[in-house]
């Protein structure tokens, strides 16, 4: 049995989702999971070629697709992505704020622009996504889902910029649950741990190796794209109807085990630089 067979094939057949950063990785996996259960799918991202390939995959799953080139740092580009999605797909029920940027660097080596860039993509981009979608979500009593990261809750060496950005995303998620709850809009986050085959894991495994990450989970393994995407669907369908303001860790127990193994490996790897 595949994970998606846990859901009815027409579970979200009259719904539309928009996924930022939906051209690749976890965000594309989420878009594909929604397509698999019948939703129509909007995706946006920075690279037209990548979006087109993703759109073809999503159409192959039976979804109507609207792909828009948009950088989440640009609020007008986000508004355009939302209005194109609404025009072409007939509305908007769920927004997934997934676009993110990351690199490994210790605080003393991050330029002001480097720090700002990650905050602008992850945190300000999430804010732009929420604001651009508000009217549609209000009209449809929809939901917003943020793709967060363990760095929001645990201090990881060389990830201060990401931790600051994602902690802000979690705070925004809770504020929206309070402010938009009266409109029937739900706001939640998922926190993927180490997920196989992602650019994020490739970047944070540099120098420390993958084993450090698997040993940092209670389950002793990486997660799969489908395991994250299935939770996104569950939170966005009636199963999640009374869940708002919640952070759901999809991390194999990483939050319990902590960042100590990574931090020791990372500080050992960069010690010669000091």
- Applying CB under 6 A, the residues found at the interface with ligand HXC are 100-103, 105, 109-111, 113-114, 117-118, 121, 149-150, 193-194, 199-201, 203-204
Which is catalytic among the residues 148, 158, 187, 216? 148
Q: Give the residue with the Cβ less far from ligand HXC, 155 or 184.
A: 155
Q: How far apart are CA 92 and CA 160, in angstroms?
A: 34
Q: Are strands 186-192 and 247-250 parallel, antiparallel or unpaired?
A: parallel
Instruction: Assess whether 166 carries a catalytic annotation.
Output: yes
Q: How far apart are CA 117 and CA 98, in angstroms?
A: 16
For the bound state, the minimum distance from the C-beta of residue 105 to ligand HXC, rounded and expressed in Å, comes to 4
For the bound state, the minimum distance from the C-beta of residue 213 to ligand HXC, rounded and expressed in Å, comes to 7
Q: Where are the beta strands (DSSP E) in the chain?
A: 16-20, 40-45, 65-69, 94-97, 143-147, 186-192, 247-250
Which is catalytic among the residues 166, 187, 216, 236? 166
Q: Is 205 left (phi over 0), alpha (psi -120 to 50) or beta?
A: alpha
Q: Give the residue with the Cβ less far from ligand HXC, 30 or 92.
A: 30
Q: How far apart are CA 68 and CA 46, in angstroms?
A: 9
Q: Give the residue with the Cβ less far from ligand HXC, 11 or 149.
A: 149
Q: Is 234 left (phi over 0), alpha (psi -120 to 50) or beta?
A: alpha
For the bound state, the minimum distance from the C-beta of residue 128 to ligand HXC, rounded and expressed in Å, comes to 15
For the bound state, the minimum distance from the C-beta of residue 186 to ligand HXC, rounded and expressed in Å, comes to 23
Give the residue numbers annotated as catalytic, written as ranges: 148, 166
């Amino acid at each position: 049995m595949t994970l998606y067979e846990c859901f009815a094939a027409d579970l979200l057949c009259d719904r539309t989702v928009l996924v930022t950063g939906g051209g690749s990785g976890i965000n594309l996996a989420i878009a594909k999971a929604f397509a698999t259960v019948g939703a129509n799918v909007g995706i946006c991202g920075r690279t037209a070629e990548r979006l087109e390939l993703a759109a073809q995959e999503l159409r192959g799953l039976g979804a109507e697709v609207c792909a828009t080139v948009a950088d989440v740092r640009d609020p007008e580009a986000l508004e355009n992505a939302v209005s194109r999605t609404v025009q072409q797909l007939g509305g908007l029920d769920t927004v997934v704020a997934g676009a993110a940027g990351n690199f490994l660097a210790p605080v003393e080596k991050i330029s002001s622009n480097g720090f700002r860039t990650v905050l602008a993509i992850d945190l300000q981009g999430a804010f732009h996504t929420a604001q651009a979608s508000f009217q549609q979500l209000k009209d449809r009593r929809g939901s917003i889902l943020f793709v967060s990261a363990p760095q929001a809750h645990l201090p990881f060496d060389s990830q201060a910029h990401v931790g600051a950005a994602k902690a802000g995303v979690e705070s925004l998620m809770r504020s929206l649950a309070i402010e938009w709850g009266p409109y029937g809009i739900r706001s939640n986050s998922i926190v993927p741990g180490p997920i196989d085959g992602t650019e994020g894991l490739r970047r944070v495994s540099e120098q420390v190796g993958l084993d450090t990450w698997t040993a940092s989970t209670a389950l002793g393994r990486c997660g799969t794209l489908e395991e994250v995407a299935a939770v996104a669907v569950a939170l966005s369908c009636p199963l999640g109807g009374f869940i708002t303001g919640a952070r759901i860790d999809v991390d194999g127990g990483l939050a319990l085990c902590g960042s100590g193994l990574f931090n020791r490996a990372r500080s050992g790897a960069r010690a010669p630089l000091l």
